Amino acid sequence: GGNFAGSGAGTFTTPTGDITLNGGVTIADGKTFTVGQAAGSGGTTTLKGNLVVGSTGNYATITLDGKTTVNYGADPALVVANGMSITAGNFDASASSGTFSATTGAATLPGATTVSGASFTVNSGSIANLIGNVNLGQTSASPKSVVCYSNFLLRSDDTGAPTFKLHPSNNALTCSTTGGSTDVCVSR
């Protein structure tokens, strides 16, 4: 078969039947590819293969003005190589039974954080720093237990000696040698 070449500023309109392109298709620089003529009336675009947008060192932008569904049966369905930012809206993965693994870098939770699962674990050898007040249990709920399998250290700071109180008496405990041994905590 021979070649088909068109030139000039004319248009090319195909019939309404299906069109099959059996070779590679290139759209010239600065030209667009549009599906549908009116907003919301375009048909479905199906790509049965990989989709490459941009190239290394010449990155392009993808804009999605609607919901996006990624269906994949193995490995990560979405791989992000250079960070991801969410500028508005919620992040909700509560419908998934999968796991959530954070990065090895520092993680910051600037808002109120609730752990509704059965437990919260800090790995052995790691340190949990709680800079502020810590409430264990709720006044409106039944009492909870605190189990300590390690040493419990209560240290002072620049504001003076710390106190450790047992409710409901609200009397502070102080560590002294009153009990005949060192580092004994007695009620004062």
Task: For residue 137, name the pLDDT band (cuts at 50, 70, 90).
Answer: confident
Range picked from 32-41, 117-126, 150-159 for highest mean pLDDT: 32-41
Helix (H) or strand (E) holding 184: strand 184-187
| Distance between CA atoms of residues 59 and 35, nearest Å | 23
pLDDT for res 156: 63
Task: For residue 26, name the pLDDT band (cuts at 50, 70, 90).
Answer: very high
**DSSP secondary structure code for residue 137 in this structure:** S
| Distance between CA atoms of residues 137 and 148, nearest Å | 16
Cβ–Cβ under 8 Å, residues 188 and 179: no
Range picked from 46-50, 78-82, 159-163, 176-180 for highest mean pLDDT: 46-50
Average pLDDT over every residue of 91-101:
87
Average pLDDT over every residue of 61-65:
89
% the chain with pLDDT above 70: 81
Average pLDDT over every residue of 91-105:
87
| Distance between CA atoms of residues 106 and 121, nearest Å | 17
| Distance between CA atoms of residues 57 and 187, nearest Å | 70
Q: Which two tokens stand for residue 120?
A: 């919260």
Give how far the C-alpha of residue 2 lies from the chain's centroid of Cα atoms, to the nearest Å: 55
Please indicate whether residue 73 or residue 128 has the higher confidence score (pLDDT): 128
Residues 6+ apart with CB under 8 A from 162: 154, 155, 156
In b/e form, how buried is each residue of 120-147, taking b as 16+ CB within 10 angstroms? eeeeeeeeeeeeeeeeeeeeeeeeeeee
pLDDT for res 158: 62
The pTM score is: 0.55
Is the pLDDT at 29 greater than 70? The verdict is yes
Is the pLDDT at 182 greater than 60? The verdict is no
pLDDT for res 23: 92
Is the pLDDT at 120 greater than 90? The verdict is no
| Distance between CA atoms of residues 27 and 25, nearest Å | 7
Please indicate whether residue 20 or residue 73 has the higher confidence score (pLDDT): 20
Please indicate whether residue 119 or residue 187 has the higher confidence score (pLDDT): 119
pLDDT for res 71: 82
Distance spanning both ends of the chain, measured CA to CA: 103
Half-sphere exposure of 31 (CA within 13 A, CB side): 5
Is the pLDDT at 17 greater than 90? The verdict is yes
